[in-house]
Amino acid sequence: MEPVIKINPGATKWDIRQKIWDYIEEKNLANFPRPVHNRIPNFKTANPACSRLADLQVFKSSQTVKVNPDRPQQQARFIALEAQKTLLVPTPRLRTGLFNKITPPQGASKEQLRVCSTAQGVKDFSVPVGLEAKVKVDLVVVGSVAVSEKGLRIGKGEGYADLEYGMMASMGAVNESTVVVTVVHDCQVVDIPEELIGSHDLTVDFILTPTRVITTNCQLPKPQGIIWIKLDAEKLEKIPVLKKLRALEEEAGKDVTLGETPAAPEPGPQATGRPRRPARRRPRPNMQPDAERDPKEESKQDGRAEGEQKARLHPPRVRKESRGDGGEGSEGEMAARGKGKSRGNREKAPEEGAREVASQRKLPLSVTTVYLGGIPAGLRVSELKTALREKEATPLRLTWQGAQHRAFLDYSDPQAAEQALESLQGLSLNGHSLQAELAKSQRGGKRSGQPGRRPRAKAAPAEARGDAAEAAEQ
């Protein structure tokens, strides 16, 4: 079968990732979370693709199955539990350990098993499995951004699947007979040049798509352990379990020499040595204080110098912004917007836009906004702040709209917002589950922090309803 996406000669791993992410977004092939960039895509037909797992003989004969924690493989986790397999799920980003063993309630119903297969269920119904545990994994299921019919695989660029497999190999949980399966959309099956695959990269034996099962007969060996020279001290600090494994291997007399930390690493350095995101796609936010900016220079850039100067000479009523000081959110912001709308004078729009920018003096000009919906009536903003701190998801600014049962959280860059989203999945306050997702203005690569963009979040209740339906389906 001919690949849907053609890979140009000389393409890098990042070129291939970007092409697939762009295609999936352009064709609207994915569910939440969106956009799919820098993620394992949660494609809409993931459940039928995962369901093919039950037909594999290697699955039927397996006892212990390890499945990645990503959303598109949720159905694979459910199938493993339904078939009464021992299910191991890695901790997200390996922050708190290597594995969680899922332990459903005794006599669990099908619906309870579905709950156990969700991200929140993995947290609530699991026990940790340490490096010292004697575990034998028969089958490994991973997500991918791209995969070839020859079994070559490209992940989202952080190297966690490769590290997980390398650690399993080091602890004797996997060997050359362990089967690796990936679940992807048909468009993610592409031609990957073999020279892009390193000794640390995980390859796959089976590819499950919504339309077919591909046996790769891959000839490349899988990682036999951690290749320490490809890691640096900064990576070890982020993954404590990796530091522990290194100490054990050092005691055993193995070479655990680390590579050098890059002189100017991008956020989230990878085991592959590549930046997490292409720098060209992420404009640098202007961190200069307003007092140091030249209004004439700004007029060359956006044509709003006059409005900018007026805004500085006559500051508007700046919205109340919550930065951990106990403020109650954005009542001032809402009042300012209402006042601007009632004027009905289009000629004032540039000035209003300039004032919007001027009201964000201590923030980057470009921020990434997360929508938080389903906030229960009576919840105080201080309670939400406490929950955000506990989840390590404190934003630069919190815009509180409690009457509309929602809030907006501004983060410095897409990476920080993505980490916050992961931490906030499954958040529950006062018995109500909250929905966390990127604000609509952030989707499809649109810049955040631009004047006039936040009002688009009025459509957020529809998103909340969509997520509620999705949760009910689960």
pLDDT bucket at 297, cuts 50 / 70 / 90: very low
β-pairing, 153-154 vs 99-102, is unpaired
DSSP state of 52: G
Q: Stretch 61-83: mean pLDDT, rounded? A: 94
β-pairing, 435-438 vs 64-67, is unpaired
Domain ranges, ordered by start, for the chain: 13-215, 368-438
Residue 57: the pLDDT is 96
Residue found by looking up tokens 């930390």 in the block: 261
pLDDT bucket at 160, cuts 50 / 70 / 90: confident
Under a CB-based contact definition with an 8 Å cutoff, are residues 142 and 202 in contact?
yes
Residues near 45 by beta carbon (within 8 Å), at least 6 away in sequence:
185, 210
Q: Give me the residues paired with residue 251 across strands.
A: none
Architecture of domain 368-438: 2-Layer Sandwich (3.30)
pLDDT digits (tens, 9 = 90+) for 250-275: 888 888 888 877 655 444 434 344 44
Give the Cα separation of 474 and 461 in Å (integer): 20
Worst-scoring range by mean pLDDT, 244-258, 362-376, 383-397? Answer: 362-376
**Structure-model confidence comparison of residues 440 and 115, the more confident one:** 115
**Identity (one letter) of the amino acid at 282?**
R
SS3 (DSSP) at 135: coil
Longest CA–CA separation in the chain, Å: 75
Worst-scoring range by mean pLDDT, 103-107, 134-138, 289-293, 442-446? Answer: 289-293
**Identity (one letter) of the amino acid at 465?**
R
DSSP state of 363: S
Under a CB-based contact definition with an 8 Å cutoff, are residues 302 and 308 in contact?
no
- 355 burial (CB, 10 Å; 0-12 / 13-18 / 19+) is buried
Question: For a pLDDT cut of 70, what percent of the chain falls above it?
Answer: 70
Name the average pLDDT for the chain: 76
Task: Count CB neighbours of 447 within 10 A.
Answer: 13
SS3 (DSSP) at 368: strand
Residue 343, token pair as written in the block? 């004027």
The answer to whether domain 13-215 and domain 368-438 are alike in fold is no
Residue 94: the pLDDT is 67
Q: What is the DSSP string of 434-470?
A: -EEEE-GGGGGGPPSS-TT-GGGGGGHHHHHHHHHHH
Q: What CATH number is given for 13-215 in this structure?
A: 3.40.50.10420
pLDDT digits (tens, 9 = 90+) for 96-148: 667 889 999 988 999 999 999 998 888 889 888 877 788 899 999 999 999 99
